[in-house]
Structure 1
Amino acid sequence: MTKIKPEEMLTNAFSNDHKALIGFVTAGDPSFEKSVSEILTLAQAGTDIIEIGIPFSDPVADGPVIQAADLRAFAAGMTTERVFDLVAAVRQKSQVPLALLVYLNNVFKYGYERFFKRCEELQIGGLIIPDLPAEERPEVLPFAQKYGCALIPLVAPTSGQRIPKVVAGASGFVYAVSSMGVTGTRQQIQTNLKQMIAEIRQATDLPIAVGFGIHTPAQAAEIATVADGVIVGSAIVKLIAENDSAVSAKLDDYVQQLKTAIN
């Protein structure tokens, strides 16, 4: 039997016209044990891909909600190595497709070869690296390809003519950024997503998921009419920040609402 590469697990989550729900959590927020529980809850509720953020001191793409989660995770003792320990704990109970949101300095300090080898061992399908421009991707890409880990490209509303370059040689899926600025819930998304996604489709056959600002089921349903998947981050992190005994039930209910809306 041919072993499926981790990156293929991401692409397969979009198969058969299924609209994928991608949920984001910050690793170690508010603690190692609770973070494992949150990820398993999201997986059991039907989240198709879970994006795990590695805490970083200067997360330039993230808004105040996720920045606060990073600080809580640091206070709980999270490091890059502990994030891999956390994923290993998740993998004891779930094979849900996983991706990491990580800033390049963390990968560089850990060592490219060592980092991607750990990703393969733990079946981590891809990395989203917000501060890795397309021009610098060749520095990292050989390691990603060696270990079957996607470098998931971020396409912004301003990418325009750069889209073919941004998505060239990519795998997994394309992360389409709905709005300029940092992550966080938004009442309205002003970008012409239909046009932006059409331009991405001309440049790649990969599935396209839209993130940044999506938090209501109605927004998710609207996005799903033009995209292959919906990414929800800050709204999930807000629920986790409440850190009460009902957090698992709240996450489960929220995921069910989103899944119903997009499919």
Structure 2
Amino acid sequence: MNLMDQTFELLKSQNRTALIPFLTIGDPDLDTTVEIIQALEAAGADILELGVPYSDPLADGPVIQRASERALKQGVTIRTCMETAMKARQAGVKMPFILFTYYNPVLQMGLPYFFEQVKAHDISGLIIPDLPIEESGEVRRLADESGVSLIPLVAPTSHERIARIVGNASGFVYCVSSLGVTGERATFHQGVEEFIQTVKKYTTLPVAVGFGISTREQVEHFSEICDGVVVGSAIVRQIESVIPLLSNASTKQEGLLQIRNFVAQLKV
């Protein structure tokens, strides 16, 4: 049982839902990212998705695409994302980390070495949105051997495919609340609650929901039916809005406080 599994077990015993922020590593820079991670944990985040910036992020909307562009200009790679996770650990951060990365950077590192590094940098889980279930066997095997959870994204589809996807899951199952790319939304696809209940029929793992969740009201709503709620674009947009503050030493703490306060008000 890795750190993420332990966290879900603890939250379950407390009848609480995990708040799972997403952020793009290296936006606006790597040192500031460590401070943002500290602010997120202080705000009540339970688990953190570390987004690896990518030049062709097919699952991501414009807010996260812009963040990726800013991070890539800083020279951020999948390796520096892992190093940033370790720097956050060294700075006292305790919450589990999930690496959110497209498959090509993983392949470029080489699968065995990649998993060695994931384990060495104390990362509990992986989300690889462009890795289909049909092609995930080797990755899943190495993840299992490394004690790392390979977390699937599951969207509304046939019961047969849902059962197949979640049957190979570990850590938790990530339900996509809205069709299309990530981004803040006022409404979600019709039947999302029914879809989540369908997923829960096929797994005993925790079930989290993400894509488009941006307000406290939405977090409260999904907390009634899920074990975890992922908030991404809204937090990345908040970071984007305070980059002028973060870029100035005299106003940096104010920028970090605004990010912390935004995340704190999402916590239910």
TM-score (norm 1): 0.93
* Within-5 A mapping of 1:206-221: 206-221=205-220
Amino acid at match of 1:181: G
**Distance in 1, Cα, partners of 2:190 & 2:7:** 26
- RMSD, aligned CA: 1.4
Query: How far 1:158 sits from its partner (Å)?
Result: 3.0
Does residue 247 of the first structure (1) align with residue 251 of the second (2)? no
Letter in 1 for 2:59: A
SS of equivalent to 2:136: helix
Check if 1:8 corresponds to 2:5: yes
SS at match of 1:15: helix
Displacement after TM superposition at 1:234 (Å): 0.3
Question: In structure 2, what is the equivalent of residue 115 of structure 1?
Answer: 114
Task: Assess if the C-alpha contact under 8 Å between 1:116 and 1:143 holds in 2.
Answer: yes
SS at match of 2:49: strand
Residue 13 of structure 1 and its aligned partner are, at CA, apart by: 5.7
Question: Residues 107 and 7 (structure 1 numbering): CA distance in 2 closer, same or farther, change over 3 Å?
Answer: farther
Q: 2:4 touches 2:47 (CA, 8 Å); kept in 1?
A: no
1:258 paired residue number:
266
**Residue identity opposite 2:63 in structure 1:** V
- CA shift, 1:85, in A, is 1.4
Give the match's secondary structure for 2:95: coil
What is residue 57 of structure 1 aligned with on the other side?
Answer: 55
Matches within 5 A, 1:29-68: 29-68=27-66
Q: Which moved more, 1:54-63 or 1:113-122?
A: 113-122
Gaps (5+ residues) in structure 1?
Answer: none
Q: Deviation digits for residues 135-174 of structure 1, max 9, x if unmatched?
A: 1110211110111111101111235431110111311111
Q: 1:14 to 1:128 in 2, by over 3 A?
A: farther
Q: Does 2:161 align with 1:138?
A: no
SS in 1 for 2:199: helix
Matched to 2:12, the amino acid is S
Report the more deviating stretch, 152-161 or 180-189.
152-161
CA distance in 1, matches of 2:54, 2:124: 20
CA 1:237 to 1:165, structure 2 compared with 1: closer, same or farther past 3 Å?
A: same
Structure 1 residue 10 displacement after superposition: 5.3
What secondary structure does 2:48 align onto?
strand
1:7–1:150 Cα change, 3 Å: farther
User: What displacement does 1:213 show?
Assistant: 0.6
Distance 1:53 1:159 in 2: 29
Q: Describe the shift of the 1:61–1:143 C-alpha distance in structure 2 as closer, same or farther (beyond 3 A).
A: same
Where does structure 2 lack aligned partners over 5 or more consecutive residues?
Answer: 246-251
2-structure distance, mates of 1:13, 1:131: 31
Q: CA 1:50 to 1:141, structure 2 compared with 1: closer, same or farther past 3 Å? A: same
Corresponding residue number in structure 2 for 1:168: 167
For the 8 Å contact 1:9–1:97, the answer to whether it is kept is no
- 1:177-188 to 2 correspondences below 5 Å: 177-188=176-187
Cα separation, 1, equivalents of 2:190 and 2:150: 24
Supply the distance in 2 between the matched residues of 1:94 and 1:103 (Cα, whole angstroms): 25
Residue 147 of structure 2: aligned partner: 148
**Counterpart secondary structure, 1:140:** helix
Preserved contact between residue 18 and residue 227 of structure 2 (Cα < 8 Å): yes
SS at 2:131 equivalent: coil
The residue identity in structure 1 corresponding to 2:120 is: E
Match of 2:249 in 1: none
Q: Quote the Cα distance in structure 1 between the aligned partners of 2:189 and 2:144.
A: 36
Figure out how many residues of one structure are paired with residues of the other and give that number. 257
Supply the AA of the counterpart residue of 1:48. D
Classify 1:27/1:206 alpha carbon distance in 2 versus 1 (closer, same or farther; 3 Å). same
Identity %: 43
Query: Is the Cα contact below 8 Å between 1:10 and 1:125 reproduced in 2?
Result: no
Please give the alpha-carbon distance, in whole angstroms, between the structure 2 residues aligned to 1:13 and 1:129.
26
Cα displacement string for residues 98-118 of structure 1 (whole angstroms, at most 9, x for unaligned residues): 101100111111111111111
Q: How far apart are the structure 1 equivalents of 2:225 and 2:177?
A: 12
- Contact persistence 2:4–2:97 (CA under 8 A): no
